[in-house]
Amino acid sequence: MARTSTRQFVLTVIIGVGLILLTAYISLTNGAFDITLRDIARTLLRIQPQHDFDLVIFEFRLPRIVIAVLVGMGLGMAGAVVQSLTRNNLADPGILGINAGAGMAMVIFLFFYQGKMKGTSWTSILAMPLIGLIGGLGAALLIYLFSWKNSRLESQRLLLTGIAIASGLTAVTLFITLKMNAKDFEMAAVWASGSIYNANWKYILSILPWLVLLIPILVSRSRILDVFQLKEDTVRSLGVTVEKQQALLLLSSIGIVSACVSVSGGIGFIGLMSPHIARRLVGIAHKRLLPVCAIVGALLVIVSDFIAKTLFAPAELPVGVVIAIIGVPYFVWLLYRNKHKQ
């Protein structure tokens, strides 16, 4: 049984990585300026490089693909952790208000940085994930305070509080964007709806440290996440320091989500869909679930981004809109299924 499960996990990872590479290849070669596989190979290997190919590949398409993969990985894994901590398969960093908090902080940053974002300095780029983290932590603290009852954190109360606070923060964000000048308002509106069209290598370098530091923390606590699926009294009886582990895992998830939001805006539903798809593929053990969530999340974002930039070319949809078109019906279907299970 274990051998079969391991074989299925390895096969899932190989197929998932293969699909990501295939989508990346299609995204690299197709667009307003088509490039052949031979041209890509010659450009990457620096064999008689041409300026046009260098510009399209290294400045526009490749950073966008890398950002899509990193953001999808982060949101997918954070979603699995949030669902485990709340013991609710309908939970999601976006629904809990973490995205909204990080997004509001970023819009405030954009508001005070109006007109200065085109030639963004290294200082402002590296500060973006930190600013997003402050907003995400602020939202999480509010949610935590309102969800604390009888000396413990109630998962259902946490979910409802998160939805309420997310709505309030979104309203504040909209109010701030309306105070911006026309040029920055357009940029903030596109960013808030979830977009990676402005991806660059600076953005990649700004979120990499956060992912490299925090993702291993989630993976190293896979067994703890498995235990959290049991009732809280049972978890305590096993000697687990519930509050300490919850705080560490939640803070790590908030850090990952905030870093992703700082470069991609409010992309929702990845943290909801990825864990559900991953569970159907490899089961509920987090040792296998988290890596597959990362792969599924990356694939969802990179495919959605390709659709967003090609469906109405030369016009372009924000990737968050494409994901929402998929995510909203999926969420409604989950609600329907859960209702009939009860």
Q: Which residues pair with 148 in a beta bridge?
A: 153
CATH code, domain carrying 23: 1.10.3470.10
In this predicted structure, what is the pLDDT of residue 281?
Answer: 92
Tell me the two tokens of residue 199. 């991806």
Which amino acid is located at 251 in the chain?
L
Q: Each residue of 71-97: pLDDT tens digit?
A: 999 999 999 999 888 887 878 887 778
Tell me the two tokens of residue 248. 């560490």
Give the C-alpha separation, 130 to 213, whole Å. Answer: 14
Give the C-alpha separation, 305 to 318, whole Å. Answer: 8
Q: Find out whether 88 and 275 touch, Cβ atoms under 8 Å.
A: no
Global pTM value: 0.89
In this predicted structure, what is the pLDDT of residue 119?
Answer: 47
Residue with tokens 């943290």: 271
At residue 101, φ and ψ (nearest 5 deg) are -65, -45
Q: Each residue of 43-65: pLDDT tens digit?
A: 888 887 788 888 888 888 899 99
Tally of structural domains, the chain: 1
Torsion angle, CA of 148/152/158/162, rounded to 10 degrees?
Answer: 40
Q: Which of 54-58, 263-267, 302-306, 327-331 has the highest mean pLDDT?
A: 302-306
Give the C-alpha separation, 314 to 163, whole Å. Answer: 36
Q: Each residue of 227-251: pLDDT tens digit?
A: 888 776 677 777 677 778 888 998 8
| Host domain of residue 102 | 2-341
